[in-house]
Amino acid sequence: MSTQMEFARQGIITKEMITVAHAEGVTDEYVRDMISTGKVVIPNNTNRKSRMVGIGKGLRTKVNASIGTSSDIIDIEAECRKARIAEEEGADTLMELSVGGDLDMVRREVLKSTNLPVGTVPLYQAFCEASKKYHDPNRLTEEMLFEVIERQCQDGIAFMAIHCGINLYTIERLKKQGYRYGGLVSKGGASMVGWMLANNRENPLYEKFDRVVDILKKHDVVLSLGNGLRAGAIHDSSDRAQIQELVINCELSDIGRQMGCQMMVEGPGHIPLDEIEANIILQKRMSNDAPYYMLGPLPTDIGAGYDHITAAIGAASSARFGADLICYITPAEHIALPDEADVREGVRATRLAAHIGDISKYKDRREREMAMSKARRERRWDEQFSIGLFGDEARKIRASRTPEKDDTCTMCGSFCALDNGNKYFVEDLQAGGKA
């Protein structure tokens, strides 16, 4: 079975490419060409039917929602409800990141509960199984690790964040810079660093990268090169360890694409606003425009409780400068396992941020903004609710505070600026003004 990339390189336009092209308003040939050069990916495991989603150059910035159990809270049905909420709220992809309970069962139940393409971090399960079997995660064997990757691919996982870019040279950079203010914040990355130091061995995911690619390619799973050394504090952003891992991941993205595997590269993390554009320029230049998957990002470290807003600011900037997929952040970030309400808020905030970035990145995609402007000017409330991203919520708020006059709102009432302005300019509009 060929991958989408291999089909594209043969000049074949698949039904998956046609579906993505139709959804994005671009030509089938454009999608095929972008996939053939590795600038667009379609996460679509051949073992499972899921929604077709294109991620990459020239396409709408996509939103990922993450769910999963922890060692403290194990409720499979709750995770399935979160998956359904994420899909209902408009997430494009989902990551199942469980580390508690029967991980195979959790993953398979989540896959049943959603039509979204689902991603994982296989290192989580590998280290959990090593801990359970040996009571020591550092006794994880290579074969256990690769077997977990294969098992998850067979279940229908569409994309995998795999920490291939951490190697002994990268860890040396971390040591020589005097560690970090914010420490290591990637669960998979910290576990792999610990394994390498405890065993005095190279990362098998880096050392045997060809084997990783072969497994994912067999099922046409997108390999998302994880950023296990991403900064967890803005004062650590763009340090030598993070940039070294980015360099390696960009090199590996080229190797994987040469082998016919669909590839993405993952980015920060915590990063101040003034570094976001430079970070994306670096990734795009070094990876030859591989799709970039940004985690948040968070441009300040002190927004706990409102980190969905913090991240939305970073996400809008990231989308504007060329990020292709944004992982949401919920209000519970840094505090607790997200609940269902957190998932809903996280998806909404990130969708809004991605849209803001997209209408700056693609200035020809502002028709919806124009339609809303006219509907507001003329106080066509039902039309406003249908155009808005969150029309049901807007309708609910208006209904809770009924105005005296139906065509105004309780913000201004009889002092409605639109009403007063239209009295003087309505004839111009009817005569051919900005109608």
Mean confidence (pLDDT) of the chain:
95
* Percentage of the chain exceeding pLDDT 70: 98
Q: Could you tell me the maximum CA-CA distance found in the chain, to the nearest angstrom?
A: 81
Pairwise CA distance, residues 107 & 366, whole Å: 39
Label residue 49 left, alpha or beta by phi (over 0 means left) and psi (-120 to 50 means alpha): beta
Mean pLDDT of 60-85: 98
Confidence at residue 430, expressed as pLDDT on a 0 to 100 scale: 61
| pTM metric for this prediction | 0.95
Quickly list H helices, 219-272. Answer: 240-258
Tokens of 18: 């046609």
Mean pLDDT of 147-161: 98
Residue 363, amino acid: K
Among the ranges given (318-322, 377-381, 430-434), the one the predictor scored with the smallest mean pLDDT = 430-434
Place of tokens 């995998």: 160
Tokens of 343: 């998932």
DSSP per position, 108-135: HHHHHH--S-EEE-HHHHHHHHHHHHHS
Tokens of 254: 């080229």
pLDDT digits (tens, 9 = 90+) for 272-315: 999 999 999 999 999 999 999 999 999 999 999 999 999 999 99
Residue 423: which pLDDT band, with cuts at 50, 70 and 90? confident
β-bridge partners, 298: 270
Residue of higher predicted confidence among 414 and 173: 173
Q: Is the pLDDT of residue 431 over 70?
A: no
Pairwise CA distance, residues 367 & 116, whole Å: 27
Domains of the chain plus CATH, in order, are 50-361 (3.20.20.540), 367-430 (no CATH)
Confidence at residue 429, expressed as pLDDT on a 0 to 100 scale: 63
Pairwise CA distance, residues 80 & 125, whole Å: 18
